[in-house]
Every structure is written in structure tokens, then in C-alpha cells.
Structure 1
């Protein structure tokens, strides 16, 4: 029986391994087709002509990602036109060749999210072995899409400090640079610093913006469609694009603007990073009520990134084909009562009208009728602090007696 049990166990485990392997291979094979349906891509289109301006049909167009080495091969149609499938964001080189013409190379073409980049190419007469290279330049006017948008790439995250929303580094803080963006009015609550909560774009309604991450909607500024996801990880963002007006049909049901985040992609080179951002009350200023002590504060935001080609030794080499990028981010936040007026929870003493704990002086002294000197209190028994300021307009009185027993109102 023990042998049979062991044999059965081996037999049951083998299909599981095969299933995992088949599933993984299927994921690799389908990855490109699934990604092609996402909206966080860009297109390259154009027309290939000869020196007279006539269309060149049948020209071979190769669009190559400079970072990943992935090459898309196309052929121009009868009108000399070509259009790529959706491409991941990055820098591309375009090579065009046809018999009887010199090969044309256009490098440095920047593909941005939800953009259609127009790259027309004119072939010069000559041998195919000769190459004419043209450095790509950014378009000064986008003539292929009608939307009005503004794009911020990862260089801004590298060069500018990220606003902290109390305990979280917010990728959405770059919206502060967006023309027409109006953040919420500060209310003393540090949780909203840098957040798009209650913001508006171009005079639209508050909380009317919709957010996309790699082409998938993850909700509105308020609650993010119950996902409670405030923003993608800063370290994983390659680009943020804000579309304000003249939306394409793929959007359409939000009046306040669209914010599209695009994640980074792996390249042919294995690369990674590790980081730690921390906050500690030992580094904080004392504040207005400094002598009363600082608010305890411990904040650690740490994680790592890693990306590169998918390589399974002796099974699969993903160079120039399949790549991955992973970012895992942790936040550990420990704090006492936040000092902002919008976050102070009243204690029992506060509710009773005793705010003496907020004062830094000593309790005043008073002399009783019998000559004893004691800590000063008012008619209600509340302590009187040195330097305390009382409202002179108060007219309410409390009946009591003086040292001779005569009734008085104080």
C-alpha cells in the first residue's frame, strides 16, 4: 500500500507540472495579442513616396524598438501607406527599403500613449545597399488625432520631488503641472496633499476625472470605483497623459478629463533598482505647539523594480521578443494624532472646555482667604494658566462668595 500511495502521488503531481508549463507557454504566446487590445499604446503611420511624390507600393517597412529589439515588419499598400499595430511606448527606428531606391533610416521616433505618430518617408533613387538616415524629431502639431492632451514622462518623476499625501508617494501629483488642473482647496488635512481628490480640470465638475492604468479603467478620483486604489506605484510609471477635450470614441462617459498611466516595460538588458523613502519625527520641526511634544511619526516606503527579457535556459530566449517588468512597493506608516486642525480628535478634557494641555506655561497661583497660596482655578474649577488669554466679551457670571461671605457674581 505505501508503494501504491507513493506511485499515485507521483502520478497526480506530474499533470500539475505539465499544466503549469502549458499555461505559461500559452501566456507567452498570447501576450502580444492581449497587449494589442490595450489603450496604453501608440501607432506609427505614414506614406512612402519617391522623389516625384508618387506612392511607392510594396516597400518593406521595419519598425524596431530600440530598447527591446522587437521589430514589426510591414509592407506599404497601393497608396504607399503603412500603419503599425499598437506599439509599447518608447523610442523606435524605422527602416524603409525597396528595389531601385536607397534604404531610408529614421531614428529617434518617440511613441507616446494613445498617439498616432505620422512618419512619411521619401525614398531616394539608388542602390539598396546605400542608406539615407534622418534623425526623428518630435511633432510640433499632431494632425492625426483631435484630442487636446498633455503628456508627462518618467523624467519628471526623476527630476522633481513627489508630493506626499501623508503616507503615500502619489504618481498623480504631477497633475499639478497640467494646464487647467485645479486641485482641491487645502483644508489642513495632509492626506489630500498632491491628491486629485475633489479636483477639477478645465472648469469641469469635481471628482469627474477617470483614471486608466495600462489601458484599463480603475475608476474615478472618489473611491476609484470602489477599488480604493489611489494611484499606481511611482516607480512603475513611464508616462502620464491627461486628455482634456475632444475625446476619442474609446473614452466618452466622463466630463472632467482622462488620466492615463502607462507602466514601464522590460528591455533586452536585465536591470533593476531598490529604494527606501522614509520620514521620522526626529527630522521634523517642532511646530507651533513645539514644547508640548512632536507628533510620533514613522513612515517607510520601500521596494524594488526588476525588468528584462524572459529567458528560460534551454527552453525559451525572449531577447527581442518577450520582456517583463515588476515593481513591488511596501508602505509602513505609524503615527500619533496628526497635528492638522482637521485631524485633531477632541479628548474628554477638550470636550469639558479644558484646553490647558495645549499651553506650555505653568499654572498660575492664587491666595485664598486664609492666606494659603494654591494653584489658581476659575469659578468653575478650571485651572488658570500663566499667559492664558480669556475672551473679554464673555458676560456670563457664576454666583459665589468673597472672603467675608458676601454673595458676589464672578
Structure 2
């Protein structure tokens, strides 16, 4: 996409239409018609003990947490399908006059799963019940996509350093950590770099992130825009390959995170995790005569959920706060005071040979010289103070002096620092679920994340600040018209604001202060008031102060999927529209 430069704003749009008719082979029994959705589907075939199909069997699925009930009857071929089921645990029952009631307890349905549960009814009194407990794990036989669901138990119970949910993706075959220093892992400027993963051998920026089935991808770096607290996650699924046509936009993984909903029972939890540098040991590079560099982390929050109206209206809310101060060990080369004052009398190369300094004002033509000219050496290899540009003298004030005993070639030494990297995040998720009837369900979810990070530079005052703020909204309404027709509509809206500025932005106009001319455009833009970036070959470099970027991006995601079942055939009509506005000043 084309983004704007400076103060110009250009809006980029694209729309991906997935409007198709999927007719599968007649030999397959009701195949998957699952879209990029946040729900699951249950299907199967009812038979008697001899293997004959049973028509008109009443099949009921009851959510154990919310008591939501959905009922259907088997078709002329003995098949049934119950769509639009929230991930969770269900009890399934089947009834037909002349047969014993058949029940299966505690079946777990997962996000984007089409689970098959076949039913075998025995002849007998309907008052009698055949109950199956401890059902074997459901196999995914209804579609060819390759993916893995990380369920709530693993999300909550497995230890995670920093509580980043995507670390669990490394449990999945085909998922690996991206290489160090990759752009996706470093460019956002905050700890969100944890979302830089490689799926199926693809690049780290080839993934798509969804939150409750709508877009949650930061289009700048293709990381997740909001990383929900693990206590707000029901489960998430990573599809590695062979995913259906509803997915796409990138060739890597499709990561769909599902948030928790409330239940009929009230549940709440609070937590706190703390780390203090006083309990740490020094690393190899820390100075033995100095205090332990800071590494302090506090992470705390709470989550709660319950019902407003039993079996109808449910709520869930979560808040989490992250605070971290961590010293960064850095070693940079910087010139000694003699060099800064023009004294090159001991200016030597790596072999200890004196490097002569010549006066450019004495340049003369020399027909016998290999270079065609000659110059005179400064007396005693010292540049007079009057010949040093005052801009250079002022710029050198922004470069720390060496603080280590090492004397390197070309008159430079080491400046060692333990400047602290500071990170802050406040995030929250709020969700409402409303079950109108067996045929209609609505949910709305709002998530918010504000991050602030300071990354120090090699020298004092040359760090950078990053301040992303993301808001994400999902609204969903599902409707079952009949046993053979059902529809789901979802809307997702996301606003992504990100400021990346030098440490001195808006505080000190260094270009003007040191006397650099021709920078009127920079002088007029306080966001770009950083230390100028410069380098001296084979010696030292300084400046930069972090990337400059000011963004306010919006995305609007509309998804509608209509499903029709005709006998053993499944027809799907869908539309997926994503409109994006990228408003970037850099």
C-alpha cells in the first residue's frame, strides 16, 4: 500500500471478496463450511445398532457454562448439523420414539472446529438412557486444513515469561521463532515484538492475526495489534497451511484468538507477578564495583465474569498492567578529549603507526605525485582551534567521553553504559453476550491497549520513545433460519495510533542549537528534534535518536457468511470486505 509522506494524507483501501459456491463430492457426509469464524460446528449421523440411518432424531447440544441450548433433527440421510456453537464444553443428547435416549457428556468444542459425533441408538423405552462418558478426543475429519488449537488450560497453566500468549504457538509443528534483529521483531519499538513468529517456513511478516474472527493485524509490521491478556483468552488457533478460501491475505499462519465470555456462574481472579534486581546476579559485562543494573518488572491485573440474566445475558471484563525497567548493556566508541580539541599528535592506526593530518587549505598541484596534488601537514599534527568548525565543537558535546581504560586506534575509547529501557502497558477487554433464542445470538467485545516504551541509545540523550495505542471492536450476530440455513455477520473496527520519536523531540531543537543551516523543515517539526546522525569511518558514530513516525490508522472489517445444506451437499456464500486507512507522517 502507498502511505503518505510528511503532512500529506493518502487513504489506501482494499477489499477481498470471498463470494463463492462450494459444492463437495456427494460421497462426503456434510463437509465443513467453517469460515474465519469464532465458533464451532457439531455434526454427525444417527444410526441404529444394525447400522441403518435414523430419520427425525431430535439432537440437542447444551453449553455447560451458559446453558445455551440448540436442537435439530436428523435428515432423510440420518445426518444432523448444529452450527454457531461457542467454544466450550457441551452435553449432547439424541431422542427418538422407540429408542433409548442417547447422551454424550462433556464434549469439548474448539474455535473453528467442525466436530463429528456419530450417534448409535438402541431399541428400548425412551425413558431409559444410554450415557457415554469419557468420549475419545474428537478427530478433525471434516476439512483438510492443518492447524492446532491451544486451549484455555494450556493458555492459563503453562509458565510464560512475560505472559505473552503467542509463546505457546511454539508448541505447534511448523511454528518457529523468527531470527534476531528482524524488522518485525524490532520496528514497533515495544515488547510487542514477541509476535514475530515464522509459520510454515514463511517470513515473520507473512501472518494474519484475528481477534474473535475480525482483523487484529498491525499492517505496518504484520504483528498482532492487540495482544490480549492470557486471562481474557478462551483459546486460540494457528492454521499452518491448507486453510480454506475464507482465509488468506498472507501466505503464512492464520492466528485466530477467541476471548472469554461470561457464564451463569460468577468467576473472578486477581494476580500479581514481580521481579526485583536485588534478587539477580550480575551478567558478564556488568562492572564488578558498581550496583546491579536495574531489572524490575511488575505485572498485575484482574478478570471477572458472570451473568446479568440467567441463560440470556452475560458479561466478562479484564484489566492488566505491565511495568518494566531493564538496564541495557552498551559499549560504544567515542573520541578522547585531545582529538576533540584537534590534537592528533598521538593519532595512530591499529599497528601503532602515526597517522599524519594534512591542512586542506594548502592543497597544491603536483605533477609528479600519484594523486596529482600535495598538501602540507599540520605542525605537530595539531589542528589549530581557530580552524575547527564551531558546529562540530557543539555537536561533540552530545557525545559522552570514554569511561573505560582502553585506548583504541585513531584516538577513540569505549563509553560503557547501563541506561535503562522502560516499558509500560495498560490493556483491557470487555465483552457482552446475549442469547435471544435458540436461533439468535449476539456478542460485542471492546479491547484497548496503551503502550509506552523508551529505548536508550549508545550515548546520553540519543534514545527513542514509542507510544502505540490500539482500540479494537468486534460485533457479531448469528441467526439460524432453519435446520438447513444459517448466517453469521461480523463487524470489526480497529484504530491504531503510534508515535515513534527521538528522546529530545519537542524538547530541544539540536539542529538549530548547534548552528546547522538549511534545516528549516526540521526546525518547524518538533517531532524530528533529535541528535543528527553522523559517522566517522573506522572510528565512531552517533546520533539518530530513534525512528520518527506518526500514525493514525483505521480498519473496518465486514464479514458475512450464509450456509445452505441440501441433502449431503453444502453450499456457502460469503463476503469479506476489509477497508483500511493508513494515515502516516514520517
What's the TM-score once normalised by structure 2's chain length?
0.49
Counterpart of 1:196 in structure 2 is 195
CA–CA separation in structure 1 for the residues paired with 2:83 and 2:139: 22
Which residue of 262, 265, 269 corresponds with 1:266? 262
CA–CA separation in structure 2 for the residues paired with 1:192 and 1:186: 14
CA–CA separation in structure 2 for the residues paired with 1:50 and 1:264: 38
Q: Secondary structure at the match of 1:175?
A: helix
Counterpart of 1:397 in structure 2 is 354
Residue by residue, what CA displacement relative to the aligned partner does 1:61-86 show, whole Å, maximum 9, x if unpaired? 11011122211122222222211121
Query: Aligned pair 1:178/2:172, yes or no?
Result: yes
Query: Aligned pair 1:325/2:316, yes or no?
Result: yes
Residue by residue, what CA displacement relative to the aligned partner does 1:167-202 show, whole Å, maximum 9, x if unpaired? xx31111122121112122359896698132x3212
Are the counterparts in 1 of residues 36 and 112 from structure 2 also a CA contact under 8 Å? Answer: no
What's the TM-score once normalised by structure 1's chain length?
0.68
1:164-175 correspondence runs (5 A): 164=162, 169-175=163-169
CA–CA separation in structure 1 for the residues paired with 2:297 and 2:122: 61
Q: 1:211: Cα distance to partner?
A: 0.8
Distance 1:192 1:323, change over 3 A: closer
Counterpart of 1:338 in structure 2 is 328
Q: 1:118: Cα distance to partner?
A: 0.4
Distance 1:224 1:272, change over 3 A: farther
CA–CA separation in structure 1 for the residues paired with 2:171 and 2:135: 24
- Gapped regions of structure 1 (runs ≥ 5): 1-35, 311-317, 355-377, 382-390, 400-406
Counterpart of 1:7 in structure 2 is none
Tell me which protein shows more strand as a share of its residues. Answer: 2
Give the count of matched residue pairs. Answer: 313
CA–CA separation in structure 2 for the residues paired with 1:110 and 1:38: 19
Q: 1:240: Cα distance to partner?
A: 2.0
Residue by residue, what CA displacement relative to the aligned partner does 1:340-386 show, whole Å, maximum 9, x if unpaired? x5xx6x5xxx42259xxxxxxxxxxxxxxxxxxxxxxx9759xxxxx
CA–CA separation in structure 2 for the residues paired with 1:161 and 1:287: 24
Tell me which protein shows more helix as a share of its residues. Answer: 1
**Higher RCO, Cα 8 Å, sep 6+:** 2
CA–CA separation in structure 1 for the residues paired with 2:219 and 2:227: 9
Counterpart of 2:50 in structure 1 is 52
Q: 1:222: Cα distance to partner?
A: 5.4
Counterpart of 1:135 in structure 2 is 133
Are the counterparts in 2 of residues 109 and 138 from structure 1 also a CA contact under 8 Å? Answer: no
Which moves more between the two structures, 133-142 or 322-331? 133-142
Which residue of 352, 376, 382 corresponds with 2:335? 352
Counterpart of 1:104 in structure 2 is 102
Distance 1:138 1:110, change over 3 A: farther
Which moves more between the two structures, 271-280 or 284-293? 284-293
CA–CA separation in structure 2 for the residues paired with 1:37 and 1:244: 16
Are the counterparts in 2 of residues 110 and 138 from structure 1 also a CA contact under 8 Å? Answer: no
Counterpart of 2:283 in structure 1 is 287
Q: Secondary structure at the match of 1:158?
A: helix
CA–CA separation in structure 2 for the residues paired with 1:270 and 1:380: 76
Query: Aligned pair 1:231/2:227, yes or no?
Result: yes
Q: 1:333: Cα distance to partner?
A: 3.2
Counterpart of 1:216 in structure 2 is 214
Residue by residue, what CA displacement relative to the aligned partner does 1:85-138 show, whole Å, maximum 9, x if unpaired? 211111111011111110000112110111100011011111110000112534
CA–CA separation in structure 1 for the residues paired with 2:192 and 2:216: 21
Distance 1:175 1:218, change over 3 A: same
CA–CA separation in structure 2 for the residues paired with 1:57 and 1:261: 37
Are the counterparts in 1 of residues 175 and 200 from structure 2 also a CA contact under 8 Å? Answer: yes
- Gapped regions of structure 2 (runs ≥ 5): 1-33, 338-343, 357-379, 381-408, 410-586
Which residue of 81, 87, 107 corresponds with 1:89? 87
Are the counterparts in 2 of residues 170 and 194 from structure 1 also a CA contact under 8 Å? Answer: no
